Structure 1
Protein backbone atom coordinates (compact mmCIF):
# COMPACT_ATOMS: atom_id res chain seq x y z
CA UNK A 1 0.00 0.00 0.00
CA UNK A 2 1.58 3.36 -0.97
CA UNK A 3 1.94 5.95 1.79
CA UNK A 4 -0.59 8.76 1.86
CA UNK A 5 0.69 12.33 1.50
CA UNK A 6 1.40 13.99 4.83
CA UNK A 7 1.45 10.70 6.72
CA UNK A 8 3.89 10.89 9.62
CA UNK A 9 4.94 7.23 9.76
CA UNK A 10 6.13 6.35 6.28
CA UNK A 11 8.98 3.89 5.76
CA UNK A 12 12.12 5.43 4.39
CA UNK A 13 14.13 2.26 3.96
CA UNK A 14 13.69 -1.50 4.53
CA UNK A 15 16.74 -3.67 5.19
CA UNK A 16 16.23 -7.44 5.16
CA UNK A 17 17.62 -9.36 8.11
CA UNK A 18 19.89 -12.13 6.79
CA UNK A 19 18.65 -15.68 7.29
CA UNK A 20 15.11 -14.68 8.30
CA UNK A 21 11.94 -13.56 6.62
CA UNK A 22 11.95 -10.32 8.61
CA UNK A 23 13.22 -6.88 7.77
CA UNK A 24 14.31 -3.78 9.60
CA UNK A 25 12.21 -0.73 8.73
CA UNK A 26 13.62 2.77 9.16
CA UNK A 27 10.82 5.32 9.35
CA UNK A 28 10.98 8.79 7.87
CA UNK A 29 10.93 11.46 10.58
CA UNK A 30 8.96 14.53 9.55
CA UNK A 31 10.77 17.79 10.41
CA UNK A 32 8.96 20.18 12.76
CA UNK A 33 9.35 23.88 13.37
CA UNK A 34 11.25 24.72 16.54
CA UNK A 35 9.05 26.03 19.31
CA UNK A 36 11.97 28.03 20.65
CA UNK A 37 12.30 29.84 17.32
CA UNK A 38 8.60 30.71 17.32
CA UNK A 39 8.83 31.92 20.92
CA UNK A 40 11.81 34.05 20.00
CA UNK A 41 9.90 35.73 17.19
CA UNK A 42 6.87 36.37 19.40
CA UNK A 43 9.05 37.86 22.16
CA UNK A 44 10.92 39.98 19.60
CA UNK A 45 7.70 41.43 18.22
CA UNK A 46 6.47 42.08 21.77
CA UNK A 47 9.73 43.89 22.50
CA UNK A 48 9.14 46.24 19.55
CA UNK A 49 5.57 46.87 20.70
CA UNK A 50 6.76 47.71 24.22
CA UNK A 51 9.34 50.06 22.69
CA UNK A 52 6.50 51.96 21.02
CA UNK A 53 4.87 52.29 24.45
CA UNK A 54 8.13 53.81 25.69
CA UNK A 55 7.85 56.38 22.92
CA UNK A 56 4.15 57.12 23.48
CA UNK A 57 4.29 57.48 27.26
CA UNK A 58 7.64 59.24 27.19
CA UNK A 59 6.59 61.92 24.73
CA UNK A 60 3.14 62.37 26.30
CA UNK A 61 4.47 62.68 29.84
CA UNK A 62 7.66 64.65 29.23
CA UNK A 63 6.04 68.11 29.67
CA UNK A 64 4.37 67.07 32.96
CA UNK A 65 7.52 65.42 34.35
CA UNK A 66 6.27 61.83 34.68
CA UNK A 67 7.29 60.69 31.18
CA UNK A 68 10.80 59.65 32.13
CA UNK A 69 9.69 57.40 34.98
CA UNK A 70 6.97 55.63 33.01
CA UNK A 71 9.16 55.39 29.90
CA UNK A 72 11.97 53.97 32.05
CA UNK A 73 9.69 51.26 33.44
CA UNK A 74 8.54 50.28 29.97
CA UNK A 75 12.11 50.46 28.64
CA UNK A 76 13.19 48.00 31.33
CA UNK A 77 10.35 45.68 30.33
CA UNK A 78 11.25 46.05 26.64
CA UNK A 79 14.91 45.31 27.36
CA UNK A 80 14.04 42.18 29.35
CA UNK A 81 11.66 40.87 26.69
CA UNK A 82 14.12 41.73 23.90
CA UNK A 83 16.97 40.04 25.74
CA UNK A 84 14.79 36.97 26.19
CA UNK A 85 14.02 36.98 22.46
CA UNK A 86 17.72 37.13 21.64
CA UNK A 87 18.52 34.30 24.06
CA UNK A 88 15.68 32.10 22.77
CA UNK A 89 16.73 32.74 19.18
CA UNK A 90 20.32 31.77 19.85
CA UNK A 91 19.26 28.60 21.66
CA UNK A 92 16.85 27.76 18.82
CA UNK A 93 19.60 28.16 16.21
CA UNK A 94 21.79 25.74 18.18
CA UNK A 95 18.87 23.31 18.54
CA UNK A 96 18.18 23.43 14.79
CA UNK A 97 21.84 22.91 13.91
CA UNK A 98 22.21 19.87 16.18
CA UNK A 99 18.89 18.23 15.26
CA UNK A 100 18.37 15.36 12.84
CA UNK A 101 21.52 13.46 13.78
CA UNK A 102 21.31 9.84 14.84
CA UNK A 103 17.63 9.36 14.03
CA UNK A 104 16.45 12.25 16.19
CA UNK A 105 13.72 14.69 15.23
CA UNK A 106 14.84 17.30 12.72
CA UNK A 107 13.87 20.87 13.57
CA UNK A 108 13.37 23.65 11.05
CA UNK A 109 12.86 27.38 11.53
CA UNK A 110 16.32 28.87 11.27
CA UNK A 111 14.92 31.99 9.55
CA UNK A 112 12.28 32.37 12.24
CA UNK A 113 15.00 32.23 14.91
CA UNK A 114 17.08 34.86 13.09
CA UNK A 115 13.99 37.07 12.77
CA UNK A 116 13.38 36.71 16.51
CA UNK A 117 16.97 37.70 17.27
CA UNK A 118 16.68 40.71 14.95
CA UNK A 119 13.34 41.86 16.36
CA UNK A 120 14.59 41.44 19.93
CA UNK A 121 17.70 43.49 19.20
CA UNK A 122 15.66 46.16 17.43
CA UNK A 123 13.22 46.34 20.35
CA UNK A 124 16.02 46.78 22.88
CA UNK A 125 17.74 49.39 20.72
CA UNK A 126 14.57 51.39 20.10
CA UNK A 127 13.58 51.32 23.78
CA UNK A 128 16.99 52.55 24.94
CA UNK A 129 17.24 55.28 22.29
CA UNK A 130 13.72 56.55 22.96
CA UNK A 131 14.36 56.53 26.71
CA UNK A 132 17.45 58.69 26.15
CA UNK A 133 15.41 61.02 23.94
CA UNK A 134 12.71 61.33 26.61
CA UNK A 135 15.32 62.10 29.25
CA UNK A 136 16.74 64.88 27.06
CA UNK A 137 13.26 66.29 26.36
CA UNK A 138 12.26 66.15 30.01
CA UNK A 139 15.42 67.89 31.25
CA UNK A 140 14.97 70.84 28.90
Structure 2
Protein backbone atom coordinates (compact mmCIF):
# COMPACT_ATOMS: atom_id res chain seq x y z
CA UNK A 1 0.00 0.00 0.00
CA UNK A 2 1.52 3.29 -1.03
CA UNK A 3 0.74 6.60 0.52
CA UNK A 4 -0.05 9.73 -1.32
CA UNK A 5 2.32 12.61 -0.58
CA UNK A 6 0.95 14.79 2.21
CA UNK A 7 -1.54 12.22 3.45
CA UNK A 8 -1.66 10.94 7.01
CA UNK A 9 -0.52 7.41 7.82
CA UNK A 10 -3.31 4.86 8.05
CA UNK A 11 -4.87 4.38 11.50
CA UNK A 12 -3.27 1.65 13.58
CA UNK A 13 -6.46 0.36 15.15
CA UNK A 14 -7.30 -0.06 18.80
CA UNK A 15 -4.44 -0.31 21.29
CA UNK A 16 -3.82 -3.74 22.78
CA UNK A 17 -5.95 -4.57 25.80
CA UNK A 18 -4.19 -4.31 29.13
CA UNK A 19 -5.11 -5.61 32.55
CA UNK A 20 -5.62 -2.07 33.87
CA UNK A 21 -8.64 -0.05 32.91
CA UNK A 22 -8.13 3.61 32.30
CA UNK A 23 -11.31 5.41 33.14
CA UNK A 24 -11.47 9.16 32.82
CA UNK A 25 -12.61 11.01 35.89
CA UNK A 26 -13.12 14.31 34.15
CA UNK A 27 -12.50 15.87 30.75
CA UNK A 28 -11.80 19.58 30.43
CA UNK A 29 -11.90 21.04 26.91
CA UNK A 30 -9.05 23.33 25.91
CA UNK A 31 -10.62 26.57 24.66
CA UNK A 32 -10.03 27.34 21.00
CA UNK A 33 -8.94 23.82 20.08
CA UNK A 34 -10.52 20.46 19.51
CA UNK A 35 -8.41 18.95 22.29
CA UNK A 36 -9.17 18.29 25.90
CA UNK A 37 -7.36 17.48 29.10
CA UNK A 38 -8.31 14.14 30.59
CA UNK A 39 -7.82 13.44 34.27
CA UNK A 40 -7.75 9.68 34.85
CA UNK A 41 -9.24 7.94 37.85
CA UNK A 42 -6.44 6.59 40.04
CA UNK A 43 -7.07 3.45 42.05
CA UNK A 44 -6.73 3.95 45.82
CA UNK A 45 -3.50 2.82 47.46
CA UNK A 46 -3.13 1.26 50.90
CA UNK A 47 -1.05 3.57 53.07
CA UNK A 48 2.45 2.25 53.70
CA UNK A 49 2.56 4.13 56.99
CA UNK A 50 -0.51 2.20 58.17
CA UNK A 51 1.00 -1.14 57.21
CA UNK A 52 4.27 -0.21 58.91
CA UNK A 53 2.44 0.79 62.09
CA UNK A 54 0.64 -2.55 62.20
CA UNK A 55 3.94 -4.38 61.73
CA UNK A 56 5.59 -2.37 64.51
CA UNK A 57 2.61 -3.00 66.78
CA UNK A 58 2.74 -6.74 66.21
CA UNK A 59 6.49 -6.66 66.88
CA UNK A 60 5.82 -4.79 70.14
CA UNK A 61 3.39 -7.49 71.27
CA UNK A 62 5.82 -10.27 70.36
CA UNK A 63 8.71 -8.59 72.17
CA UNK A 64 6.42 -8.09 75.18
CA UNK A 65 6.04 -11.86 75.40
CA UNK A 66 9.85 -12.10 75.55
CA UNK A 67 9.76 -9.84 78.59
CA UNK A 68 7.66 -12.42 80.39
CA UNK A 69 9.70 -15.39 79.14
CA UNK A 70 13.09 -13.95 80.11
CA UNK A 71 11.74 -12.56 83.36
CA UNK A 72 10.41 -15.93 84.52
CA UNK A 73 13.45 -17.83 83.24
CA UNK A 74 15.85 -15.50 85.04
CA UNK A 75 13.84 -15.06 88.24
CA UNK A 76 16.02 -17.60 90.11
CA UNK A 77 19.24 -15.91 88.98
CA UNK A 78 20.01 -12.21 89.02
CA UNK A 79 19.71 -11.62 85.29
CA UNK A 80 15.89 -11.75 84.97
CA UNK A 81 15.06 -8.12 85.69
CA UNK A 82 17.83 -6.47 83.60
CA UNK A 83 17.22 -8.66 80.55
CA UNK A 84 13.45 -8.35 80.71
CA UNK A 85 13.84 -4.61 81.32
CA UNK A 86 15.87 -4.28 78.12
CA UNK A 87 13.22 -6.13 76.15
CA UNK A 88 10.51 -4.04 77.81
CA UNK A 89 12.29 -0.89 76.64
CA UNK A 90 12.47 -2.30 73.12
CA UNK A 91 8.77 -3.13 73.20
CA UNK A 92 7.87 0.35 74.46
CA UNK A 93 9.93 1.96 71.69
CA UNK A 94 8.29 -0.26 69.05
CA UNK A 95 4.83 0.40 70.50
CA UNK A 96 5.41 4.15 70.58
CA UNK A 97 6.68 4.03 67.02
CA UNK A 98 3.59 2.09 65.96
CA UNK A 99 1.30 4.69 67.53
CA UNK A 100 3.24 7.55 65.90
CA UNK A 101 3.22 5.90 62.47
CA UNK A 102 -0.49 5.12 62.76
CA UNK A 103 -1.28 8.72 63.68
CA UNK A 104 0.66 9.94 60.65
CA UNK A 105 -1.11 7.37 58.46
CA UNK A 106 -4.54 8.48 59.63
CA UNK A 107 -3.60 12.09 58.84
CA UNK A 108 -2.32 11.03 55.41
CA UNK A 109 -5.52 9.10 54.68
CA UNK A 110 -7.73 11.98 55.81
CA UNK A 111 -5.92 14.52 53.58
CA UNK A 112 -5.64 12.34 50.45
CA UNK A 113 -7.83 12.21 47.37
CA UNK A 114 -8.53 15.92 47.04
CA UNK A 115 -7.69 17.93 43.98
CA UNK A 116 -6.44 15.08 41.80
CA UNK A 117 -4.16 13.59 44.45
CA UNK A 118 -3.70 9.90 45.05
CA UNK A 119 -6.31 8.52 47.43
CA UNK A 120 -4.92 6.47 50.30
CA UNK A 121 -6.94 3.86 52.18
CA UNK A 122 -6.17 1.77 55.24
CA UNK A 123 -7.80 3.57 58.13
CA UNK A 124 -8.64 0.26 59.80
CA UNK A 125 -5.07 -0.94 59.44
CA UNK A 126 -3.84 2.29 61.06
CA UNK A 127 -6.32 1.86 63.90
CA UNK A 128 -5.12 -1.70 64.40
CA UNK A 129 -1.55 -0.33 64.53
CA UNK A 130 -2.58 2.05 67.31
CA UNK A 131 -4.21 -0.76 69.28
CA UNK A 132 -1.41 -3.29 68.86
CA UNK A 133 1.30 -0.73 69.61
CA UNK A 134 -0.47 0.41 72.76
CA UNK A 135 -1.16 -3.16 73.82
CA UNK A 136 2.45 -4.20 73.26
CA UNK A 137 3.80 -1.32 75.35
CA UNK A 138 1.21 -1.93 78.08
CA UNK A 139 1.86 -5.67 78.23
CA UNK A 140 5.60 -5.06 78.42
CA UNK A 141 5.21 -2.65 81.33
CA UNK A 142 2.84 -4.95 83.22
CA UNK A 143 5.00 -8.02 82.74
CA UNK A 144 8.11 -6.08 83.78
CA UNK A 145 6.28 -5.07 86.95
CA UNK A 146 5.32 -8.72 87.52
CA UNK A 147 8.94 -9.82 87.00
CA UNK A 148 10.21 -7.22 89.48
CA UNK A 149 7.64 -8.39 92.07
CA UNK A 150 8.61 -12.04 91.50
CA UNK A 151 12.32 -11.22 91.76
CA UNK A 152 12.00 -9.35 95.05
CA UNK A 153 9.83 -11.94 96.76
User: TM bucket by the smaller chain?
Assistant: over 0.9
Could you tell me how far apart the structure 1 residues matched to 2:21 and 2:92 are? 40
Which sections of structure 1, spanning at least 5 residues, go unmatched?
none
Query: Which structure would you say has the larger Rg?
Result: 2
Instruction: Report the TM-score, using the length of structure 1 for normalisation.
Output: 0.92
The Cα shift of 1:9 comes to 4.0
1:99 maps to which residue?
112
Q: Deviations over 1:51-110 (max 9, x none)?
A: 000000001111112110100000000000100000000000000000111111110000
Q: How big is the alpha-carbon RMSD for the aligned residues of Structure 1 and Structure 2?
A: 1.9
Check 1:45–1:5 CA distance in 2 against 1; reply closer, same or farther (3 A cut).
Answer: farther
What runs of 5+ residues in structure 2 fail to find an aligned partner?
1-13
- Tell me the SS of whatever aligns to 1:12: strand
Q: Distance in 2 between matches of 1:44 and 1:112?
A: 11
Task: Tell me how far apart the structure 1 counterparts of residues 35 and 29 of structure 2 sit (CA, whole Å).
Answer: 6
Tell me whether 1:24 sits opposite 2:37 in the alignment: yes
Deviation at 1:11, TM superposition (A): 1.7
Give the TM-score normalised by the residue count of structure 2.
Answer: 0.85
